[in-house]
Amino acid sequence: MSEFRFSVSQLLQEPIGATRQYELDDAQLAVDQTLTMKPVKGRVRFTRTPKGILADVKAQGNVEIECSRCLTRFEQPLAFKFSEQYYQTVVVNTGARLPAPEEDDPFLIDETHKLDLEDALREYALINMPPAPRCREDCKGLCQICGKNLNEDSCDCEPEQIDERFAVLNKLLGDVNRNN
């Protein structure tokens, strides 16, 4: 069950502009099959709107992810905020169905007046994930020759070996150019 599900039946019976505030504390979010954000901390504010509830969310936490340079797994801090409209689908007192919102793929409050932030949190966590995460600003990465993690240890590979290969390549290119 989602740890981000809130009952909003009371708030839905209050006037437009009424608010509720909640804390997110030590929750856990499955961002996708391999990524988990935890502990998710933050603040949620719900505001009653004509069509439902506006959720203002601020969340932060850590995602264990692989460094794009040295491939070590590390805890990537992640923080984001968003505002999303959640549409009311059923009138609280009568149970009458409301017309479906016109928006594509809207966030809905379910028939039992529960508002679940999990899908939105997941979406915004993914959007805010760094494209090339680094375990630290100055990560030295892996040696191109022996594959050693250069953050942990240096290796004896000679950088000249790379230069030599380039020298051979340059010579070949030079020959090609001369023959043309």
At closest approach, how far in Å is the CB of 164 from Zn ion? 15
Q: How many residues bind Zn ion (CB under 5 A)?
A: 11
Q: What are phi and psi of 108, to 5 degrees?
A: -115, 145
Shorter beta-carbon distance to Zn ion: residue 92 or 157: 157
Q: What are phi and psi of 146, to 5 degrees?
A: -105, -10
Which residue from 91, 100, 126, 146 is in contact with Zn ion, where contact means CB under 5 A?
146
At closest approach, how far in Å is the CB of 161 from Zn ion? 9
Q: Is 155 in the site for Zn ion (CB under 5 A)?
A: yes
At closest approach, how far in Å is the CB of 138 from Zn ion? 9
Number of H helices, E strands in the chain: 3, 7
Residue 45 CA to residue 83 CA, distance in Å, equals 9
Q: Is 157 in the site for Zn ion (CB under 5 A)?
A: yes
Residue 117 CA to residue 55 CA, distance in Å, equals 8
Which residue from 27, 55, 59, 135 is in contact with Zn ion, where contact means CB under 5 A?
135
Q: Is 57 in the site for Zn ion (CB under 5 A)?
A: no
At closest approach, how far in Å is the CB of 179 from Zn ion? 36
Residue 10 CA to residue 21 CA, distance in Å, equals 13
Residue 160 CA to residue 40 CA, distance in Å, equals 48
| Residues of the shown chain interacting with Zn ion in the complex, contacts defined by CB under 5 A | 67, 69-70, 135, 139, 143, 145-146, 148, 155, 157
